[in-house]
C-alpha cells in the first residue's frame, strides 16, 4: 500500500522562484462521503486519478494512476466539484528532500504553499529561509477544501 507522509507550509518571500520552473496543474475532486478523497488531475498533457484515505497524523494511504487525457478532461468537466483547482507547481530539490511549491491561480489566486514529502513521520527536515508558518494540520489548506472554501473568500 502506498503511503503519503507530508508537511505543509506557507511561503514567505520570493527566494524560491529561481530554484525551479513551474508546471501547470488543473485538478478537481469527485464528491465522496467520509474522509477519503478522489482527485482527477491534469499535469500539462497527462491525466491522473488519485485515491486518498483519511489523514492519520501527517500520513494517509494514497494510490495514483495515469489515465487517458480525454478521460481526465471529461471527469473534470462533468463529475468534479467546481471550481477546479488551478496552480503552477515548482519542484525544488534541497538535500535529500523535494519541496513542491504551489502557486494557486483562479479562485485561490494569492495562496502560496510548500509541501515536503517524508519517508516517515519522525523524519526531520531543514527548513529553507523561504518557508513560513507550518499549516500541516489546518484543513483550510487541503486542496480538496479549497474547492468549497476558495482562498479569495477568506476574511
DSSP string, 8-24: EEEE-SSTTGGG---EE
Angle at 132 between CA 128 and CA 134, to 5 degrees: 105
CB 9 within 8 A of CB 132: yes
Provide the annotated active-site residues.
29
Cis peptide before 100 (omega within 30 of 0): no
- Strand 3-11 to 112-117 pairing: antiparallel
Rounded to whole angstroms, the Cα distance separating 33 from 39 reads 14
Contact 16, 100 (CB under 8 A): no
Amino acid at each position: 500500500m502506498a503511503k503519503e507522509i507530508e508537511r505543509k507550509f506557507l511561503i514567505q518571500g520570493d527566494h524560491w522562484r529561481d530554484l525551479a520552473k513551474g508546471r501547470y496543474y488543473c485538478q478537481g475532486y469527485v464528491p465522496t462521503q467520509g474522509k477519503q478523497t478522489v482527485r482527477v488531475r491534469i499535469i500539462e498533457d497527462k491525466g491522473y486519478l488519485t485515491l486518498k484515505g483519511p489523514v492519520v497524523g501527517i500520513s494517509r494511504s494514497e494510490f495514483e494512476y495515469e489515465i487517458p487525457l480525454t478521460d481526465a478532461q471529461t471527469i473534470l468537466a462533468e463529475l468534479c466539484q467546481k471550481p477546479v483547482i488551478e496552480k503552477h507547481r515548482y519542484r525544488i530539490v534541497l538535500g535529500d528532500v523535494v519541496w513542491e511549491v504551489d502557486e494557486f491561480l483562479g479562485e485561490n489566486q494569492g495562496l502560496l504553499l510548500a509541501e515536503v514529502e517524508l519517508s516517515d513521520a519522525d523524519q526531520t527536515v531543514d527548513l529553507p529561509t523561504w518557508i513560513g508558518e507550518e499549516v500541516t494540520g489546518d484543513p483550510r489548506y487541503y486542496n480538496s477544501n479549497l474547492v468549497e472554501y476558495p482562498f479569495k473568500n477568506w476574511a
